[in-house]
Chains A and B, each alone.
Chain A
Amino acid sequence: MTNRKEDEPRVPASSAAAARARKAQTILVAEDDPVSSRLLEKSLEGWGFRVLKARNGGEAWSALQNLHIRIAVLDWMMPGMDGVEICRRIREIPRTNYAYIILLTSKDSPKDIIAGIQAGADDYMTKPVNLLELQARLQTGRRIIELEDSMIEIQKRLTHLATRDGLTGLWNRAAILKFIQEELEHGARDGYTTSIIMIDVDHFKKINDLHGHQAGDSMLRAVTDIVRKNVRPYDKVGRYGGDELLVVLPNCNLYQVSKIAERIRAAGAARKVRPAGRSISVSLSLGCTSSECFLKPDVDGLILASDAALYEAKRDGRNRVSLSDAVDGGPARPSGKGRGHGR
């Protein structure tokens, strides 16, 4: 279970946008006249573009559904859907990135130009196309697309910073709690149960005290690795607190979650962390609960219940899995037993 697609989106390095820009840009040429089409194709290829040709509006429209196509040169007059109609439609639908559109036409009255631009074209050229002018105008298109790419890149990095834990790369506390909320709501609609596992590293404080904080960090990264490899690809793993990880498992009942938790525990027990020549055993305590244990499941209730189960696992000797009880209205937290004591 090493598929990390869902839980571990890698943030691309800052040079990724530049690398993408250097890669040949695919450009759509929608033109029903084969002479114009071939002429454009040869020129564009000469300028380093990859060219995709469409012979009519319908073909152009389907080609534009591909998000890799960021620049399009569209003839205004085409059989089927015309260029202006395509512009209008492409601006109507939500698209995750921008398509830069140059409209070609033999219509050159100001009224037509305005109609084309209003429909959503970025630029406008009259036929027969002056190729040097087209080349210059395509530079503008490239610039705008690169600008947008770098903005998307920054947005991704910011989202990553805001939702990820720096040390482990796991979801941070706010993000993982939000996932519980979302899965509970989704599950209530679609009729599935959601379970969570609270995982605590046994004697974590001792590891830090005895071996240093770098050893503690190595331990946390090792546990992260163990957990990720033993959950399902679509489960979410977050860092809830200092040495506590939280796993959210949609469409998973208490029995199933107990099996997964046990798998994590066993994988931990079989592993040693070796920071700077030392050898430290991994020991994990895990508390599980499931929305099926509640009449009205909510985030706080699940957290409290998993925490209580975790406390029980600690109390019973650590290196074990404990399940919360099914209690109407939700299991209560054991009174007077604060979290974190003796862990």
Chain B
Amino acid sequence: MGAKRKPASAPPIIREEVLERIGGEEPFLQELLELYDREFALQSKALEKAVRKSDFKAIQDLGHSLKGSSANLSLPGLMAAAVALETAGKEDDIAGARAALARLKDEYARLKAFTG
């Protein structure tokens, strides 16, 4: 899937930035990314349910939470999608929420392809 990535698009993770933040330890970054994976699996499932039920409060909260962990790991694409979810939840915008959720999944796939 990595080969399909558009060469023009920005990398899904800004490695130098996150490594600087966590003290330069590559194994620790791996550990945090695994934590993120686990969290993402739970949150995206919950988001799908929330979008299906138009539960805007849940969409907003889950978006907020993912925004935080994505920012911590310097994942700009995922963070932007999470912000869009939070905003859609806040504005009761179901179409926006659906689009943002799709974008979130794409961005996650892009991250997985990038990090292997």
Q: Tell me, yes or no, whether A binds B.
A: yes
Residue pair A106, B35 in contact (C-beta under 8 Å):
no
Contact pattern, B 67-81, Cβ under 8 Å of A = 1, otherwise 0 = 111011100000000
Contact B72 A33 (CB under 8 A): yes
User: Which A residues, 110 to 147, have Cβ-Cβ distances below 8 Å to chain B?
Assistant: 127-131
Q: Which residues of B contact A33 (CB under 8 A)?
A: 39, 65, 68-69, 72
Asked whether B64 lies within 8 Å of A128 as measured between CB atoms, the reply is no
B21 near A131: Cβ-Cβ < 8 Å: yes
> Looking at the complex, which of A35-43, A154-162, A206-214 is the stretch in contact with chain B?
A35-43
Complex contact A106–B39 (CB within 8 A): no
Q: Which B residues lie within 8 Å of A165 (CB)?
A: none
Taking CB atoms and an 8 Å cut-off, the chain B residues in 37-90 that contact chain A are 38-39, 61, 64-65, 67-69, 71-73
At the interface, yes or no: A244 with Cβ under 8 Å from chain B?
no
Interface residues on A, range: 10 to 19
Q: Is the beta-carbon distance between B32 and A38 smaller than 8 angstroms?
A: yes
CB-CB nearest in chain A for B43: A33
B36 lies within 8 A of chain A by Cβ? yes
User: What is the bound-complex CA distance between A128 and B72, given in angstroms?
Assistant: 5
Contact B32 A35 (CB under 8 A): yes
Question: Is B38's CB under 8 angstroms from A36's CB?
Answer: no
A106 touching B32 in the complex, CB below 8 Å, given contacts A34-B38, A131-B21:
no
> A residues bordering B, Cβ < 8 Å?
32-36, 38-39, 42-43, 46, 77, 106, 127-131
Q: What are 5 residue pairs bridging A and B, where the CB atoms are less than 8 Å apart in the complex?
A: A35-B69, A38-B31, A39-B22, A42-B28, A106-B71
